[in-house]
Structure 1
Amino acid sequence: MTQLSDGPAPVYRDDVGEIGRKVDGLVAAADAAHGRLPQSVLAAADQLSGRAVERLRLSGEHTIVALAGATGSGKSSLFNALTDLDLAGVGLRRPTTSWALACAWGPDGAQGLLEWMGIPPRHQVSRMSMLDRSSEDTKLDGLVLLDLPDHDSTEVSHHVEMDRLVQYADLIVWVLDPQKYADAAIHDRYLRPMASYNDVSLVVLNQIDRIPYEQRGRAVEDVRRIVAAGGMTDVPVIGVSATRGDGVDDLRRELATRIRARASAKDRLGADIRAAAEQIAAVGGRSNVPGVTEADRDELDRALFDAVGGGQLASAVGASSRRRAVRLTGWPLTRWIGGLRKDPLSELGLEVDERELERSSLPDSIRPQRSAVETSVRVFVEKASVGLERPWRDAVRVASDAAAEGSQVADAVEGAVASTRIDLRGAAWLHLLNALQWLLLATTAGGLGLWLLGLLGMGIPDGPDVSGFGPADGHPLSLVLGVAALVASGVIALGTRLASRFVARSQAARVERELRTAIGQVSAELVVSPVEAELQAYERYRAGVVAALG
């Protein structure tokens, strides 16, 4: 996997603890997934991250407990029993709880938390510790108790208010009554969707005094069975009678235990974070993927090189260079024979001007096979997407589609080919040998000419004095020079014909190297980099999800 780029700054310092690191992970996952996963999937994480930060900033010493239940469940009576104050209207005076009521235990009253939750001041009260006559194991210092609107109210605003405040609670006490404890409304709407919140849930069977004493245990077990069937296993179920006080101390004791542990807030946040992370992971996945390997990059570059006929072009340049080397260094009188053969470059449709060899380049007429280019990019993307869920595969594909389907890659490869130098001038020594071949030709012609002139002079009275050059002399210098120059020219031609193979290989290798380099830059910029950027985003997302899930 490639080097990760920087993600969002951590929300918490390292010393805040595990819950802070989970929030950081959720924030990082949501940030990386924006634009790739549906916003509806990320909405819970976005809302939770801000709420979690604010919750721990305001207070980690209070426990928010919400009483939730249906109309007639005795929820408000239970609220009064726990507070020892007649705060919530009951019976005919208040058939439905239209607004949440809040009671805070402790000297500070948790004012900041209540304002943060949007509880109006007229619905707040502080329960001072000095007024608490409870035993030591049922004292509720640090508790913020909420009496929520009825979940089965016909008023839409009541549903909205309850759904809003349930999100803030560190511990939710679901208050059921003997007549409605199996009602599908509360189980389908709230209990089953919150099956993963076992650690921050509590079920109370209120009005237990209406059940014959010998049947109470069986009723509590029946509630426990129904709740467990909905996924909320190991959730405590307590039978109480708010009006008579039966089981109220047991409930107080359970709440006091949660408060003393100071863990409910973090447990609830942890459950929220886990639920949000699981929701994201269900869509985006969290598998570790291989990503883009060096072999994948090399294969893409090779495919693009083949799509433009890079190997054929390099071979043609090498063959053309060899042809030119032979023509430069061969015997001048027979070079025209080599010119009868067609230049390999011209067979590819490339016309190279012999007078402009020093600035020759592959012309614009060269066109890569665009279908082959698109296929190469598609194969690369498919390999890079192995192991990704559909949203991330789509993100990787979209990142490369603009370049592949928009012909940017093909156009850029074409430009890279067109900018590659041919440069058929050859090495300087070839030009020196060319000059030497003409000098040797002149020497051959001069030597043999003088020798022939000497032969002619011997048979002509009073002819020119050619002593030292004619055959009558023991050492016909002109003949020796002419023959030696001719032999030397042949040796040079033969030697350079062999050497031209190395020249051709060098030129072909240079062209291929420059083509591969240019094509590699195109693929890196237009294909590999966008794909790797998406894979880096996925890795930040995956690492965040793993951290959030703990």
Structure 2
Amino acid sequence: MSRAVATLDERLSALGEAADLGRNRLPDGPVDTAEAAVRAAGERRSLSAEHTVVGFFGATGSGKSSLFNALTGRDLARVAATRPTTSEPLAAVWGVRHGQGLGGGPDADGTGEGGGAAALLDWLGVTRRHLLDEAPVLDGGRSGFLGIGHKDGADATGLILLDLPDIDSVELNNREITSKLAGHVDVLVWVVDPEKYADAVIHRDFLATMGSHAAVTLVLLNQVDRLTVADRDTVLASLRHMLTGHGLADVRVLPVSARTGEGLDEVGRQLASIVAARGAAVERLGADVAARADDLSAASGTGDPAGVTDGLEHRLGKDLAVAGGVPAVVRAVEGSYRLRSAKQTSWPVLRWMHSFRADPLRRLHLMPERASARRDRDEIERDPAVHRTSLPTRTGTQRAVVEGAVRTVVTEASAGAPEPWAASIRRAGRAELDAVPDAVDQAISATDLGAAQGSWWWPVLNVLQWLALLTAVVGAGWLGLLALAVYLQFALPPAPSVEGFPIPTLLLVGGLALGLLLALLAVPLTRWTAAARGRRARRRLEESTTAVGRRLVVDPVTAEIERYHRFQSAIGTAAGTSARGRGRARR
């Protein structure tokens, strides 16, 4: 399904969006120019839509003022051989009703043609104005002013013709006025002469930058009466070739002579048709938008950023985990479990020995504190913004790991992007680099390691150990009683036996053997479970550090890539083409 062509309002909005998105990413020149074009277009569209401004541009000696006078039928413009000739813009306005002026006051309120023209000329900065209210429609069907008569019914009402200072004026202010108005008039008429039609100023500074303005550009080769037919064809061919090189292959080139009147009828018809269509202003604004969009596109370049893949994000999380001391935390989780398991499952007589060992997690301030005054012994809530771990201070190597991990992400994510945007993607990813170590420490402190949880088999072995100890104590006590009776010469019946083994002896030996066996059984169980707890803690910690990397590195990078995609889409809309490729998504 083809995409509907964007309206001028949509294109202007897209150009403004592209300039805003490119700010601080692209050079200021193209961005400022695009914003200025959007402002100027808004101002032009708020002014009269019934008037078409046609500007005559040319170098000294091209005869544009003579052409201006010939077309108006009056000697309005000053013609001289000295420089500068035209020192300030001069306007001729047609279609203004009698009694309406072009100056300020009640006639310039914009309600009538005169007022609309006045506001438009005020905006252009043109103060010298002439009203021509009896033309252009001439009676009798004769070919009259602008080559228009009753026979074709054309009407140039609303035409504003400007004679502008020379583009190569020796006065800097004159050149600035001409450059400004070249960006504001609706139709650009470039007047050249046979001797200076290839002048570098007009081609380099003006025509070469207006490849998108062919629809509102007219080139007049003046003074052709001075050329032979062969020379005329040669000059016209050369001029058209140069215009083609500027992207203006479709521009209309007309040979004219202000002195003899040759070609003026055709110029009049061309201008009249443009004015009658009432679309030159929109055409010009559309061409400006396309040109500024091309400038932004050239400043930006094209490409497809690789983005951040899931694998790259997970690798960043693992690197941050290593730099943040997660391996030490995992070892502490395993050591803490082994210590607490020994206190629950080792031989009760020797458990006091484990009380001298410090819990590794407590040393790191990662063991959840418990409220001793509460019966349910719930864990006290920890505020990660307040609590910190007691992991060793980050070394230069660990900081280098963080910087290297972030650098890898931003480099791979920006791969394929044009350089201005690749640089902005890298800046976005590194903007919070200094905050990463502290954020990782907070994430580790806030992670639920499950450190306070025991194992289901601890109570079982604990009960069995106490039963084994009780059995051994009973056996030892029985044997002790028998020994004491013998020592005191009391006659006691012999202890019962099983298969020739006295039961007291069996109780003592069996209790001790069972306790040792249970202690040996607890060793592999403890090691296997501690390793599992370590793996679970590592997974949770890496999820936490990955979240930190996503928040401080990946999300800014992704947001900058999305900004680039929106910029490209806006450029496509502003240029009047379909949206550019959006590139690969991160997920």
Aligned with 1:192: secondary structure?
helix
1:223 aligned onto 2:239: yes
Q: For residues 398 and 149 of structure 1, what CA distance do their matches in structure 2 show? A: 47
SS for the counterpart of 2:257 is: coil
- The answer to whether the aligner puts 1:299 opposite 2:315 as a matched pair is yes
C-alpha distance in structure 1 between counterparts of 2:480 and 2:198, whole Å: 130
TM-score, normalised via structure 1 length: 0.83
Counterpart of 2:439 in structure 1 is: 412
State the Cα deviation string for residues 122-160 of structure 1 (Å, max 9, x = none).
425354667555222654234322111111221111101
Taking a change above 3 Å as real, the CA distance of residues 490 and 137 of structure 1, as seen in their structure-2 partners, is farther
CA 1:142–1:293 in 2, change beyond 3 Å: closer, same or farther?
farther
Measured after TM superposition, the shift of residue 77 of structure 1 is 2.3
Instruction: Indicate if the aligned counterparts of 2:317 and 2:543 stay in contact, CA closer than 8 A.
Output: no
CA distance, structure 2, for counterparts of residue 92 and residue 285 of structure 1: 47
1:6-61 deviation per Cα after TM superposition (whole angstroms, max 9, x unaligned): xxxxxxxx999532222122111110111222212312101101111222332444
Q: Secondary structure of 1:539's match?
A: helix
| CA shift for structure 1 position 174 | 0.7
Question: Percent identity of the aligned residues?
Answer: 36
How far apart in 2 are the matches of 1:16 and 1:50?
22
Structure 1 unmatched ranges of 5 or more: 1-13
| AA matched with 1:114 | L
User: Among residues 257, 262, 269, which one is paired with 1:241 in the alignment?
Assistant: 257
CA 124–315 in structure 1, closer or farther in 2 if over 3 Å, else same: farther
5 Å-filtered alignment, 1:482-501, equals 482=508, 485-486=511-512, 488-490=514-516, 492-501=518-527
Corresponding position of 1:403 = 432
Q: What one-letter code is carried by the residue in structure 1 that aligns with 2:405?
A: S
After superposition, residues 12-411 of structure 1 pair within 5 angstroms as: 17-91=6-80, 96-107=85-96, 108-109=113-114, 110-111=116-117, 112-120=119-127, 122-125=128-131, 127=133, 131-132=137-138, 133=144, 134-135=148-149, 136=152, 139-212=155-228, 215-229=231-245, 231-311=247-327, 313-333=329-349, 362-365=389-392, 367=394, 369-404=398-433, 407-411=434-438
Equivalent residue letter for 1:177: D
Letter in 2 for 1:116: W
What are the within-5 Å matches in structure 2 for residues 495-534 of structure 1?
Answer: 495-534=521-560
SS across alignment from 1:123: strand
Worse overlay, 511-520 or 48-57: 511-520
- In 2: Cα distance, 1:186 partner to 1:539 partner: 37
Picking from 472, 475, 480, the partner of 1:444 is 472
Q: Distance in 2 between matches of 1:466 and 1:425?
A: 53
SS in 2 for 1:534: helix
Partner of 2:454: 427
State the secondary structure of the residue aligned to 2:43. Answer: helix
Look up the equivalent residue of 2:156 and give its one-letter code.
Answer: L
User: What is the alpha-carbon distance in structure 1 between the residues aligned to residue 524 and residue 58 of structure 2?
Assistant: 98
Please say if residues 103 and 126 of structure 1, whose CA atoms lie closer than 8 Å, have aligned partners that are also in contact.
Answer: yes
Seen in structure 2, the aligned counterparts of structure 1 residues 169 and 375 have a Cα distance that, compared at 3 Å, is: same
- What letter is aligned with 2:471? T
| Alpha-carbon contact 2:429-2:556 (below 8 Å) kept | yes
Q: Is the 8 A contact 1:68 1:75 kept in 2?
A: yes
Report if aligned partners of 1:88, 1:101 keep a CA contact under 8 Å in 2.
Answer: yes
1:375 Cα shift? Answer: 0.5
Name the amino acid aligned to 1:515.
L
Following the alignment from structure 2 to structure 1, what is the Cα–Cα distance between the partners of residues 122 and 26? Answer: 33
Instruction: State how far apart, in whole Å, the 2-side matches of 1:387 and 1:259 are.
Output: 47
Secondary structure of residue in 2 paired with 1:382: helix
Asked whether the equivalents of residues 73 and 176 of structure 1 are also in contact (C-alpha less than 8 Å), the reply is: yes
After superposition, the Cα gap between the structure-2 partners of 1:353 and 1:18, relative to the gap in structure 1 and judged at 3 Å, is: closer
Quick one: structure 1 residues 264 and 321, their matched pair in 2 at CA, closer, same or farther if it must change by over 3 Å? Answer: same
**TM-score normalised by the chain length of structure 2:** 0.78
Q: Distance in 1 between matches of 2:245 and 2:455?
A: 90
In the TM superposition, residue 519 of structure 1 has moved relative to its aligned partner by: 1.5
**Is the CA contact 2:60–2:83 (under 8 Å) kept in the aligned structure 1?**
no
**Higher alpha-carbon deviation: 409-418 or 272-281:** 409-418
Change (3 A) 1:225 1:475: closer
How many aligned residue pairs are there?
530
5+ residue gaps, structure 2, are 97-112, 139-143, 372-378, 381-386, 578-587
CA RMSD of aligned residues (A): 3.9
Query: What does the per-residue CA deviation read over 1:371-410, in whole Å, with 9 as the maximum and x for residues that have no partner?
Result: 1111001111101211223322322333343433xx3222
Task: Work out the CA distance in 1 between the residues paired with 2:4 and 2:529.
Answer: 67
CA contact (8 A) 1:325 1:426 kept: no
Name the aligned partner's letter for residue 89 of structure 1. Answer: R
Counterparts in 2 of 1:449 and 1:30: CA distance versus 1, 3 Å: same
